[in-house]
Structure 1
Amino acid sequence: MIEPSKSEQTRQRILTTGRKLVLGVGFTGMGLKELLSVSGVPKGSFYHYFASKEAFGCAMLDDYVAEYLERLDLLVAAPLSGGERLKQYCQAWLSRDASTSIPENCLVVKLASEISDMSEDMRLIFDAGVIALDERIERILRDGVADGSIKPIADPAEAARLLYGQWLGAAILSKLSKSQQPLRDALNDTSARFFP
């Protein structure tokens, strides 16, 4: 494996630090001064990598979406029934481990309403990411129907979109209420609708 160049490492450090800050205070709440201070990067270096804060936001979202889809691709390819893969996906939403909990680490949960009115470029990155995610969930559902571990579904593409929307909404409500109950409710509903 080729080690990233120092320049690539610096760029990635800015993106990683920025994501952590954005998860805490939102995109508009994160100031460049704070980002540069925490990441240990001078202002000139930031502008070497990113033309603006919005360009940084687009790169951060591209990085996030690619990483998320890579993890989901591993789940889609796992040698399990479709139903088992769907259960693993749902359990990830319920994880209490702060480093893996989807509600705590999901930029869509944190930023969707904030950026949809602020940046068309960032909105389009999120939207494309959600479409790609829905396609992977659809694949899991189709596989599960084929192997009998998921109930027959009239329209797997629609079911995948609705399923993701339900879990995304539950994650937002979970953060709002500081309770896992909305996520447990989503799990109960998903189990009743999809598992034989």
Structure 2
Amino acid sequence: MKSSRTLNDNRQRVIEVGRKIISRKGFSAVGLNEILTAAGIPKGSFYYYFASKEAFGTQMLEDYFARYLETMEALLSSVPDATQAMMNYWHSWTATDDGPTPKGYQCLAVKLGAEVSDLSEPMRLALEQGTTRIVQRLAGQLERMAAENSFVPPPEGCLVFAGALYQLWLGASLMGKMTGSLSPLASAMPLTKRLLQL
């Protein structure tokens, strides 16, 4: 009988390996055996860890957003100046870490949003909840900027404005994937600065 620690470690390994593969290929194109083989987990044991591929996908998205929000929090808390911290976050979307693909293109919300939202209600909800938390954190940063007098909140409020900014970058990332070009992300940056009154 496997210990609960071993079960959790194996489940987490499947999630992490699966996320890397799915971020390249998409959810529907990846079979369970491919994930299990890459994770070094015996074939046929998938259902020991997850009730279904959909349950795996939902857990993968929840794990992704939890990690994303940790990284986002570190970026937004990295410098005392709220405006600089906000711009550091947007610059992170275009960072490549010496790889060929900007991080914005690796976003699972961009990669899977359209694909799985019509296929799986639990996965759609995980996407909605994860992106909602991102927008809420951005709204908090805008409020911090306003408190430092570096931003005048628009009439619609910080939460709606934060949602529009996030949608701008999601759209730019999607267009970048479609065109194979960095120009949509490059265009998003000066527009973001104008919207933030910089």
User: What TM-score comes out, normalization by structure 2 length?
Assistant: 0.91
Q: How many residues align?
A: 193
> Relative contact order, CA 8 A, sep 6+: which one is greater?
1
Partner of residue 61, structure 1 = 61
Partner of residue 32, structure 1 = 32
Partner of residue 133, structure 2 = 132
Partner Cα separation in structure 2 for residue 130 and residue 163 of structure 1: 12
Partner Cα separation in structure 1 for residue 5 and residue 105 of structure 2: 31
Please tell me whether the aligned partners of residues 90 and 189 of structure 2 are also in contact (alpha carbons under 8 angstroms): yes
Q: Which amino acid aligns with 1:130?
A: T
Please state if 1:91 is matched with 2:91. Answer: yes
- Offset of 1:103 from its aligned partner? 2.2
Partner of residue 161, structure 1 = 163
- Offset of 1:85 from its aligned partner? 1.4
Paired-residue identity, %: 38
Partner of residue 144, structure 2 = 143
Taking a change above 3 Å as real, the CA distance of residues 99 and 36 of structure 1, as seen in their structure-2 partners, is: farther
Partner of residue 171, structure 1 = 173
Partner of residue 195, structure 1 = 197
Please state if 1:23 is matched with 2:23. Answer: yes
List runs of 5+ in structure 1 lacking aligned partners. Answer: none
Taking a change above 3 Å as real, the CA distance of residues 144 and 99 of structure 1, as seen in their structure-2 partners, is: farther
Moved more, 110-119 or 146-155: 146-155
Partner Cα separation in structure 2 for residue 65 and residue 145 of structure 1: 26
- Offset of 1:100 from its aligned partner? 8.7
RMSD in angstroms over aligned alpha carbons? 1.8
- Offset of 1:153 from its aligned partner? 2.7
List runs of 5+ in structure 2 lacking aligned partners. Answer: none
